[in-house]
Structure formats: structure tokens, C-alpha cells
Amino acid sequence: MNNSLKKLQEEREAMLPPELEDRISQHVGTLSLFSNVIEVFVPNALQVVVQLVGGDELPCLKKASRRQARANMDWRTPPSPSLPNPA
């Protein structure tokens, strides 16, 4: 025995065009591709704009310096004190 909400849902689903699922699937694929393009090109575009304006490179986009900073860290040497001793 179906309740009234199930019947209403089945009636509404029967009114939808059958190609709706294909259209939604195509839109999702397009948005997925667009997000991949944005992920690749937007950081480089921001870097170009900053350099055109005359600024320095964005520190968040400097992958080489982040790798180099990690490579220079050595767990065997204690960190240097950042503040001078008040003595």
C-alpha cells in the first residue's frame, strides 16, 4: 500500500521529460571540466596580474621556495631563538 506522498512523487516523476537526466549529466560534466581548467589556470593568471602591476611573486604560489624551505630544515639542529635574550 503506497501512501499519498509516494503517489505524488511518482506522478511528478512521470511528468518530467526523459532526457532531463542526460542534460543534468552533461551539465555536471561541463562543470567538472571547467573546475579543472580553473584549478590549472587561475593561479598562473593571478601571478601574471601581480607581476604586471609591479608586485613581487605571490608567496602562496611559490612552490619551489616552499620545497626549498622544507629541504633546509634539519631535525638534528635546534631552532635559533627568534627573540634576543633580555639578560
pLDDT over threshold 60, residue 87: no
Domain residue ranges in the chain: 19-69
pLDDT of residue 75: 67
Question: 58 with 47: CB under 8 angstroms?
Answer: yes
The arithmetic mean of pLDDT across residues 7-17, rounded, is 85
Distance between CA atoms of residues 7 and 1, nearest Å: 10
Shortest CA distance to 43 belongs to which of 61, 68, 28? 61
Residue 26 binned pLDDT confidence (cut-offs 50, 70, 90):
very high
pLDDT in tens, 28-77: 999 999 998 888 888 888 888 888 887 776 666 666 555 555 556 666 77
Shortest CA distance to 44 belongs to which of 28, 59, 68, 61? 61
Sign of CA dihedral 74, 75, 81, 87: negative
